[in-house]
Structure 1
Amino acid sequence: MERITERYELAVRALAKFHELAHRQDLTEIERDALIQRFEFTFELVWKCAKEYLYTQEGIDVASPKKVIRSCREIGILGESDTELALKMVDDRNLTTHTYDESFIKSLISRFPDYDRILHSWLMRLQ
């Protein structure tokens, strides 16, 4: 199986798992923690899928999530508002590994429906 196809399929499966909880209200603590974990690995798989796409389809070799997002904007995969949201998502993703502040977590979870939408849209454009 081609590497980009494998990355895409993994990202689609991860996104489906993230989607299961991203729009739910009144999560238990365990569900909340699972949702954050699903966000982390889904984001990682989607941006790495985009990285592989940029390299194999466009000849663009970039290594960081923010550079991948900006390159996706430059070639028209992401629009301006989606790019801004995706860049915010990178910052949030980075904070999930270093911060466990209750107010941050509540704020982060409130952004998950938008992140679910952008991740889905981004991934579909890579198809």
Structure 2
Amino acid sequence: MARQALGTLEELAYKEAPSPVERDAAIQRFEYTFEAFWKALQAFLREREGLEAASPKRVFRLAHEVGLMGEEEARLALTMADDRNLTVHTYNEALAQAIFARLSGYAELMGKVLGRMVDEGHPL
């Protein structure tokens, strides 16, 4: 499910000059992709490492601790969590543009981490 969600985000996240509707659609796709991503990571940590975490930020910190994310990736993931929390304010044009500008980096990060999970034999 996380891979499928990421695929929908990638369709829009790399657009250079999106219309406002495309930008807003990309942000909405980011919201559900983020949810699928952190929950897949949460399940991976529980099943493979025996670690429990109830929030995205804790999941990202644990992923770093077990070596699934590097330090820079964990920092980016924490920033991504902050942006996800701000998406309810995308009526703010400047904020919507700023979040959209970061979506390609977030999509790249999620793709790399999901790939590592698949390499470890975790079904997504």
Tell me the equivalent position of 2:70: 79
What is the percentage of aligned positions where both structures have the same residue?
Answer: 43
Kindly report the root-mean-square deviation, in angstroms, between the aligned alpha carbons of the 2 structures.
Answer: 0.9
Determine which of 51, 63, 66 is the counterpart of 2:54. 63
Mark the runs of 5 or more structure 2 residues left unpaired by the alignment.
119-124
Provide the C-alpha distance between the structure 2 equivalents of 1:51 and 1:66, rounded to a whole number of angstroms.
11
Q: Which runs of 4+ in 1 moved over 4 A?
A: none
* Structure 1 residue 100: Cα displacement: 2.5
Q: Does 1:45 align with 2:23?
A: no
Determine which of 96, 102, 105 is the counterpart of 1:114. 105
Determine which of 15, 26, 36 is the counterpart of 1:35. 26
What amino acid sits opposite 1:102 in the alignment? Answer: E
Superposition pairs for residues 17-28 of structure 1, below 5 Å?
A: 17-28=8-19
Alignment deviations for residues 61-88 of structure 1 (CA, whole Å, 9 cap, x no partner): 1110000000000000000000000000
* Structure 1 residue 98: Cα displacement: 4.0
What amino acid sits opposite 2:111 in the alignment? Answer: H
Secondary structure at 1:62 match in 2: coil
TM-score by length of 1: 0.89
What amino acid sits opposite 2:98 in the alignment? Answer: S
What amino acid sits opposite 1:28 in the alignment? Answer: S
